[in-house]
Amino acid sequence: MPRRPGTPRLLRQLNDRAALELLLSNGPLTRAELGEHTGLSKVTAGQLLARLEDRDLVAVVGEQAGGRGPNAALYGVVPSSAYVVGLDVLPDRISAGVADITGETVAEIAVDPTGHDDPVRLVHSAVEKACESAAIPMTGLRAFVIGTRGVVDPRTGDVRFSFDLPSWHDGVLAGLRRDLNVPVTIENDVNLAALAERSHGAALGMDDFVLVWAGVGQGLGVMLGGRLHRGFTGGAGEIGWLPVPGEPLPTDVSEPQSGSFQRLVGGDAVAGLAAAHGLAGRSDGSAGSVGDYVRMAVAQGAEGFLDELAGRLAVGVAAVAVVLDPALMVLSGDVGRAGGTALAARVEEAVARVCPSQPRVVVTEVQGNPVLRGALISALHQAREQVFSETV
């Protein structure tokens, strides 16, 4: 069957979308510059800009001085044309952020979920407070992405199970969508951290890398061919369950912290290792978080602790490397951030001794909350798809 030629409406829609994407990625452009980037004539570029102005998607944001003659108008995307919300849900804190369509974060808040076990009401309250902080109505939201600990079923979009968030279960996603009347997506927190790393961190623009989340819990964000790999049931990256020689296998997978690799590098293991090396989590000698122990070790130059911790982490990193052979391994989570380059370099050396592919291991470069940032990135992608498909 012969192909039908593109209709004028479709061509206008494609041109409008290309123009919006250019304005977002390259910043304000003149009509002539937009024509040069898209290959459109000045007349066509002018008509395109007029359409987008009529829909309040672009506006004149300044002028560009030229040679003789009047200055050229600079056009940019109107930030308020769409807003999105991202959330990072933890047992003791919910962080919420609002971003406009340009990607600028306009508000960020945190709420305490203690004493409340209804996920829909909790999320609604957090979103309401975030929108109040941003001075925008909730009706201005286009997309909404939530990062949670646990396994998200890729077939239903619901949390299949989560040790830390037992009230998040099948049916929560549908409840959120009814309550908020906005497209809602629930995503594994480490997967969102990987998205943030690819957009703003050490894996900038890379299509093949693995983010190793090391902290109280262990996880992987796997990016292959520019796409997140979630697995058939959503369980890809649950590296805490990796069998490790010398560590007991779990007898009941419903028990948290019982995976072999988790026993080797989890919170209890790091605390025990710190005690063996005479380290305290905080300067006052009180017990601290898993990151506090590592931070103390780096500050004090406790090479024995760092070497042993790196060797333990290398067991998991090497196992991933021989299966996936990624171009880059990024250390993140509380342990990865606290250990910094001192720990990442040691992990790379330890892996090189046991792994033929010898991957490059670096520390995360994402600033702020990587899960929240990844949630906003994912929500922005969805919102832009909506907005850009509605231009004509």
Q: 100-155, pLDDT tens digit by residue?
A: 999 999 999 999 998 888 999 999 999 999 999 999 999 999 999 999 998 999 99
Between 223 and 286, where is the model more confident?
223
Q: Is the pLDDT assigned to residue 2 strictly greater than 90?
A: no
CA distance 69 to 358: 60
Q: Is the pLDDT assigned to residue 363 strictly greater than 60?
A: yes
Q: Is the pLDDT assigned to residue 392 strictly greater than 60?
A: no
Between 2 and 110, where is the model more confident?
110
Work out the number of other CB atoms within 10 angstroms of the CB of residue 10: 12
Q: What pTM value is reported for the model?
A: 0.91
Task: Give the torsion sign (CA, 95, 100, 104, 106).
Answer: negative
Question: Shortest CA distance to 57 belongs to which of 82, 83, 40?
Answer: 82
How does pLDDT run across 235-271, given as a tens digit for each residue? 999 999 999 988 888 888 777 778 999 999 999 999 9
Q: Can you give the pLDDT at residue 351? A: 96
CB of 330 within 8 A of CB of 363?
yes
Work out the number of other CB atoms within 10 angstroms of the CB of residue 112: 9
Give the start-end residues of each E strand in 52-153: 58-64, 72-77, 83-89, 94-100, 105-111, 141-148, 151-152
CA distance 265 to 314: 10
Q: What is the mean pLDDT of the chain?
A: 90
CB of 73 within 8 A of CB of 30?
yes
Pairing mode, if any, of strands 105-111 and 141-148? unpaired
Q: Can you give the pLDDT at residue 287? A: 54
CB of 268 within 8 A of CB of 257?
yes
* DSSP code string of 216-266: SSEEEEEEETTEE---SSS-TT-GGG---TTSPPPS-TTSTT-SHHHHHHS
How does pLDDT run across 267-310, given as a tens digit for each residue? 999 999 999 999 875 555 555 689 999 999 999 999 999 999 99
